[in-house]
Amino acid sequence: MTDSPSQRPGKRERLVEAAVRAFHEQGVEKTTLADIARAADVPLGNVYYYFRSKDLLVEAAVEAHCDRLTALTNRLDALPDPAARLKALIEGWVGQRETAARFGCPFGTLATELDKRDDGLDLAAAQVMRALLDWVERQFGELGRPDARALAVELVAAYQGMSVLTNILRDPGLMAAQGARLTSWIDALAGS
């Protein structure tokens, strides 16, 4: 069964999704607008209608990561307690271990690459990471932890570290093992 034209995302949305994937898999510098257009099934000339430059497409990709994070945290907020929310976050990370083994963390790799540029996109990426840290801190705060910010930094740093190691060593099992360790850590902090 094929999608009807009304079910297919618009060209702009397809370009942004293709950019997110290409930047993750190839990096910003190696990805061309032609790569993105081809992956989005959009004629190259149409890319310029939506994005006058590659940097605007990078900015849209960062915004897409922010939107995804917001959607994820909204779904997690529906869970009954903060420990369950944090463990579900970890479970989601571990669920992407095969992708992490091949390409690293979808957002962490982009943020690291943008940090090497001098165009302000690194600041936009930092806002997304701060939003994640703030959400994780709120969860630890709801657990009654006075050290909620430090614990949030520790959890997010642990994820980024295990994502890097999983990628460098091409070992998804490493992320699974570390995810289990983090889940036990959350249980211990929550007094479970």
Residue 98 lies in a domain: yes
Residue 25 lies in a domain: no
Residue 145 lies in a domain: yes
Sign of CA dihedral 29, 31, 37, 39: negative
C-alpha to C-alpha distance for 190 and 180, rounded to whole angstroms? 15
For residue 121, which of 59, 170, 60 has the smallest C-alpha distance?
59
Is the confidence at residue 4, as pLDDT, over 60? no
Structural domain boundaries enclosing 106: 62-191
Model confidence pLDDT, tens digit, residues 60-98 = 999 999 999 999 999 999 999 999 999 999 999 999 999
C-alpha to C-alpha distance for 105 and 99, rounded to whole angstroms? 8
Model confidence pLDDT, tens digit, residues 6-42 = 577 899 999 999 999 999 999 999 999 999 999 999 9
Residue 54 lies in a domain: no
Residue 6 lies in a domain: no
Q: Both tokens of residue 64?
A: 């897409």
C-alpha to C-alpha distance for 81 and 63, rounded to whole angstroms? 28
Residues 6+ positions from 103 with CB-CB distance below 8 Å: 24, 25, 109, 167
Residue 26 lies in a domain: no
Is the confidence at residue 174, as pLDDT, over 50? yes
Model confidence pLDDT, tens digit, residues 93-140 = 999 999 999 999 999 999 999 999 888 899 999 999 999 999 999 999
Residue 157 lies in a domain: yes
pTM of the model: 0.92
Which run of H or of E encompasses 89?
Answer: helix 82-95
Look up the CATH number of the domain holding residue 137: 1.10.357.10
* Residue 96 and residue 162 in contact, taking contact as beta carbons nearer than 8 Å: no
Residue 47 lies in a domain: no
Total domains present in the chain: 1
